[in-house]
Each structure stands twice: as structure tokens, then as C-alpha cells.
Amino acid sequence: MSSKVPRVETRDINISKPATHNYETGNIVNQATQLTLGQTTSKLWRSEGHPVNRKTGVREGGGPFHVSHSGAFVNAGSVHGVLGGNSLTTLYSGPIYGPMVTASAIGEHHTKTVHDQDESSMKADGSTAISQCAPTNATANLASTLAESYREGVPTLPGIQSWKKRTEYLKSLGSEYLNYQFGWAPLKNEVHSVVNAARHHRDIMQNYKHNEGRNVHRQFHFPDTVESWHEEVLAPPAFQPLNTTYLASGAIAGNTVVVTCEKVRKRWFEGCFTYGGPSNSDNFGRALGFGSEADAVFGLALSPDVLWNLTPWSWAVDWFTNAGDVIHNVSNFALAGLVMRYGYMMEETISTYATEYSDTYWNVLEKKTPKKVGKTREGNCSRGEITVHKSRCPASPFGFGVGWEGLSPTQLAITAALGITRLL
């Protein structure tokens, strides 16, 4: 449900001007004042309600969002103990700023008006970001990796079933069993091949099971796009809130200032990924147990006697027959893919139009008796207009451009099982 929009808030840009004093008498020449230099307007153009967690009462996630800020800004400079007045007897320490100076060739690049939220472009970039930063699709990779170990590490089932008979035969040969031609080396290699595959198989599944249902947070930042223009223009030789009697003859070098316009766009993605799987199935748990049996074989220096004592061989046969079922189940579940608990594409654009003043020379009192006036260089400041847009686009649990209405019954069941609810 959308909030009432647009909602508008304004605030004044204020600056405090301290009092000035006559250094000879100590009297106050001008009282401290509060100056208003302009206004900033904030508008909330779009914001959708967030669902409330029934257990905690806290609002979760967030919907589409679009807000703008526009108006004046002042980055005041600062001076310390400058002399002013017709007889240079007034001391002033405090902020200073120059007037806003414009340049038509530069100003046309400044964005003053609010633009619409560019949802289509943001969603396209969001899909790119997900492809770059999402954790590897655990279910799909698990299936392919298990299939490789199943295919490459396990001899044929009749070969496994013959181990006991071949071991008994080699054991009866006594010292001659070490001879390669009698078959010990091939049998040993076969056993180690199966053991390695089973251990690898189990480690992959344990890691998969460990991360199942956990939240994996990811960010992806696109390079900022920056455009800028500048031009030197003539300016009045005066700073405010001071009048020209406070300034030496070289107050603003060449009576020029730099007028600038800059546009910056930032885009980034933030998301939380998770996945579920068939780890609660009997096949999955059985395969983990068979991998544990393989650890015992892996840690021993095999000989026919040792190998004989490791019987029964059922773990190898069971693992071989069970692996196919596990791969089949995981492959089917991979169709559901990775799920996001939340995913947002964000954008911030900033358009700035400003007059920039460099440090300039000021009269300062170096000595009271006899009076000696010197120079100091201070006062760097800027003044201008700024427009800021901030936008947010949410993704569905399966990405940008995939609406809830397009999810399959299986995908909807997965999101429900993970406690992911639709943003209302």
C-alpha cells in the first residue's frame, strides 16, 4: 500500500554571523545575527508500505522508493581577526561567503527538476549485479561436482564386489603379493580411488548442508559516472556578510570566480541469498555416513592383511548405489535455483551548480601600538544549488523482472518454507 505522495518538507539554510568589535574601544560594532541564505526542499515521490513481522513487530524489507532533495547550499569560508571599517578599527572573526554567480553555458547542464524513477534501467543493472555477486548456485554445483566424483572416482559395481575375493587371493600369496603382476597395485589404486571419491563426495555435501538455510550477504557496486563542466567568469569584488571596506584591493584576484557544474550517478546492489535442499532425505544422510567409513581406509597404509580386516565392503557398494540417487535428487532441486531473502538495486544522482571562491587577501592587525596592518590569505568558500535523487527497486526472491505472479508452485513453496513473504 502506497503512502500519500508527494510529501514535501522545506528547511532554511542558515548561517550565524558573530558580532564585530572595535579593537581600540572594545565596543560591539554589530550584534551577532542569524542569516537565512536560502531553502532546501525534500520530496518523497514514491514509498510503499513494508510488511510487519508478527513476532517482533518490526517492519521488514522495503518496497520501491524515490525521493529528491533540491535547493541552495553554502560552504562558508572562515576568517580570523580581519580588519574592516573606514579606519580599519573593526575586528571580525567568523564565516564568510560570496554571492552566487551564474554562467549560462554551464547552468544548462544543471538538473533542477525531478525526474521519474528509471525502473527498467535499474532492474537491468540489478540482474547484471546478481550474476556478478551471487554466491555460486549451491544446488547446481553440488549436483555437477558429485556427478564428477561419481563418474571419475568409482569403478564399476562388479569391480567393487570383487575386492573381497581379490584380497583373499593376494593375501594367500604371502610376500609375492607385492609383485605388480599379481594385481596388488591395481587393486590398491582402485580402493584409494573410491575412498578419495567418497571422502570428496562427503565433504562437498557437508559444506552444502552447513550453508543450507544460512544468509549470505552480497554487494555489488557499479563504477560511478561523473560529468563536469567549469568556466571562469567575472564576479563582484565582495564577500558577504562583509562589505567592501573589509577587503584589501586584491580581494578577488582578477575579479573572477570559477563556476562549475557536476553530475554524479552511483548505482549499487545489496542482497541476501540463501538456499535449501534435499539434505533431510534418507539418501543424503546415508551418503554422509558412507563417506565416514571411507576415512578409516584413507588413513591406513594398505596391505592385503589390512584390507582384509576392513571387511565388510558394504560401505563402498552402498555409497556407489546411493550416490546416483543423491545426484538425481539434487539435480531436480537445482531447478528451483538460488533464492534471495531480499534484493535491492539502489541509485543516487547528484547535480551540483556552484560558484567557487579561492582564498583571498585580508587586512589583519599585526600590532596595536604603533598600529601596524598586515595581510593574511583566507576565505575559500562556495555557494550554489544542488539536486539529489535517491531511488530503490526491490527484486523478487528469484531476481529482477521475475514477479511473484510468475513464480511456479515449487518456487512459491520454497519461499514459504524459507519464511519469505511477499512485500505488500
Q: Is the pLDDT of residue 352 over 90?
A: yes
Measured CA to CA, the distance from residue 355 to residue 238 in angstroms comes to: 13
DSSP code per residue over 106-171: HHTT---SPPPP-HHHHHHHHHHHHHHHSPP-HHHHHHHHHHHHHHHH---HHHHHTHHHHHHHHH
Per DSSP, the three-state class of 384 is strand
With a threshold of 0.85, does the pTM exceed it?
Answer: no
Measured CA to CA, the distance from residue 35 to residue 77 in angstroms comes to: 15
Per the structure block, which three cell numbers stand in for 145?
561436482
Per the structure block, which three cell numbers stand in for 316?
563402498
DSSP code per residue over 248-264: -TTSSGGGEEEEEEEEE
Measured CA to CA, the distance from residue 8 to residue 68 in angstroms comes to: 10
Per the structure block, which three cell numbers stand in for 407?
513464480
Q: Is the pLDDT of residue 63 over 60?
A: yes
Give burial (CB, 10 Å; 0-12/13-18/19+) of 398. Answer: buried
Q: Is the pLDDT of residue 416 over 50?
A: yes
Place of cell 552480497: 218
Q: Is the pLDDT of residue 393 over 60?
A: yes
In this prediction, residue 322 carries a pLDDT of 74
Q: Is the pLDDT of residue 241 over 70?
A: no
CA angle 125/274/347 to nearest 5° reads 25
Q: Which residues pair with 374 in a beta bridge?
A: 364
Please say whether the beta carbons of 120 and 131 come within 8 A.
no
Please say whether the beta carbons of 379 and 105 come within 8 A.
no
Per the structure block, which three cell numbers stand in for 334?
537445482
Q: Is the pLDDT of residue 57 over 60?
A: no
Q: How confident is the model at residue 226 (pLDDT cuts 50, 70, 90)?
A: very high
What share of the chain has pLDDT > 90, as a percent?
15
Measured CA to CA, the distance from residue 196 to residue 199 in angstroms comes to: 5
Per the structure block, which three cell numbers stand in for 357?
571562491
Task: Give the tens place of pLDDT for each residue, 73-125.
Answer: 999 888 888 887 777 888 888 888 888 888 888 888 888 776 677 888 899 99
Please say whether the beta carbons of 336 and 418 come within 8 A.
no
In this prediction, residue 385 carries a pLDDT of 93
Which residues, including other chains, have CB under 8 Å from residue 408's CB and lie 6 or more apart? none
Measured CA to CA, the distance from residue 301 to residue 312 in angstroms comes to: 18
Helix (H) or strand (E) holding 411: helix 409-417
In this prediction, residue 261 carries a pLDDT of 96
Per the structure block, which three cell numbers stand in for 57?
513487530
What amino acid occupies position 377? R
Q: Is the pLDDT of residue 166 over 60?
A: yes
More confident residue, 241 or 162: 162
Q: Is the pLDDT of residue 45 over 50?
A: yes
Strands 360-367 and 339-357: unpaired
In this prediction, residue 348 carries a pLDDT of 95
Per the structure block, which three cell numbers stand in for 58?
518490526
Task: Give the tens place of pLDDT for each residue, 169-220.
Answer: 777 776 665 565 567 778 888 887 888 777 777 787 777 777 777 888 899 9
- Which letter does DSSP use for residue 89 in this model? -
Measured CA to CA, the distance from residue 283 to residue 98 in angstroms comes to: 77
